Amino acid sequence: MRIDDAELAARRDSFAAALAGRGLAGAVLFDTQYVHYYTGFFFIPTERPIAFALAADGRGGMLVPRLELEHARANTAVSEVAHYDEYPGERHPMEALRELLAALGIRGALGADADGYPWVFGYRGPGLGEWTHVADLVEDQMAIKSAAEIELLRESCKWANLAHTLLQRYTRPGVSETEVETRASTEANAAMLDAIGPLYRAQSPYYSGAFAGYRGQIGRNAAIPHAHGNNIVFQAGDVLVTGASAPVWGYHSELERTMVIGSPSDEQKRLFDHMHALQTLAVDTIRPGVACAEVDRAVRGYYDQHDLWENWRHHVGHAIGMRYHEGPFLDRGDPTEIRPGMVFTVEPGLYSPTVGGFRHSDTIAVTGDGVEWLTYYPRDLEALTLQL
**What pLDDT, on the 0 to 100 scale, is given for residue 1?**
82
Q: What is the pTM of this model?
A: 0.97
Please tell me the CATH superfamily of domain 147-386, with its number: Creatinase/methionine aminopeptidase superfamily (3.90.230.10)
Q: CATH for 5-142?
A: 3.40.350.10
**What pLDDT, on the 0 to 100 scale, is given for residue 234?**
98
Strand partners, 318: 329, 345
Q: Dihedral of CA 344/350/355/356: which sign?
A: positive
**What pLDDT, on the 0 to 100 scale, is given for residue 333?**
98
Q: Are the CB atoms for 341 and 366 separated by under 8 Å?
A: yes
**What pLDDT, on the 0 to 100 scale, is given for residue 181?**
98
Number of neighbouring beta carbons within 10 Å of residue 88: 13
Q: Give the span between the Cα atoms of 95 and 128, in whole angstroms.
A: 11
Q: Which are the contacts of 262, defined by CB distance < 8 A and separation ≥ 6?
A: 236, 237, 385, 386, 387, 388
Domain coordinates of the chain in residue numbers?
5-142, 147-386
**What pLDDT, on the 0 to 100 scale, is given for residue 27?**
98
Name which of 234, 260, 232, 256 is nearest 245 in CA terms: 256
Give the 3-state secondary structure of the chain: CCCCHHHHHHHHHHHHHHHHHCCCCEEEECCHHHHHHHHCCCCCCCCCCCEEEEECCCCEEEEEEHHHHHHHHHHCCCCEEEEECCCCCCCCHHHHHHHHHHHCCCCCCEEECCCCCCCCCCCCCCCCCCCEECHHHHHHHHHCCCHHHHHHHHHHHHHHHHHHHHHHHHCCCCCEHHHHHHHHHHHHHHHHHHHHHHHCCCCCCCCCCCEEECCCCEHHHHHCCCCCCCCCECCCCCEEECEEECCECCECCCEECEEEECCCCHHHHHHHHHHHHHHHHHHHHCCCCCEHHHHHHHHHHHHHHHCCHHHCCCCCEEECCCCCCEEEEECCCCCCECCCCCEEEECCEEEECCCEEEECEEEEEECCCCEEECCCCCCCCCCCEECC
Q: Which are the contacts of 68, defined by CB distance < 8 A and separation ≥ 6?
A: 43, 48, 50, 83
Q: Are the CB atoms for 239 and 142 separated by under 8 Å?
A: no
**What pLDDT, on the 0 to 100 scale, is given for residue 219?**
96
**What pLDDT, on the 0 to 100 scale, is given for residue 183?**
98
pLDDT in tens, the chain (388 residues): 899 999 999 999 999 999 999 999 999 999 999 999 999 999 999 999 999 999 999 999 999 999 999 999 999 999 899 999 999 999 999 999 999 999 999 999 999 999 999 999 999 999 999 999 999 999 999 999 999 999 999 999 999 999 999 999 999 999 999 999 999 999 999 999 999 999 999 999 999 999 999 999 999 999 999 999 999 999 999 999 999 999 999 999 999 999 999 999 999 999 999 999 999 999 999 999 999 999 999 999 999 999 999 999 999 999 999 999 999 999 999 999 999 999 999 999 999 999 999 999 999 999 999 999 999 999 999 999 999 8
Q: Are the CB atoms for 308 and 272 separated by under 8 Å?
A: no
Alpha-carbon 165 to chain mean position: 22
5-142 and 147-386 have identical folds:
no
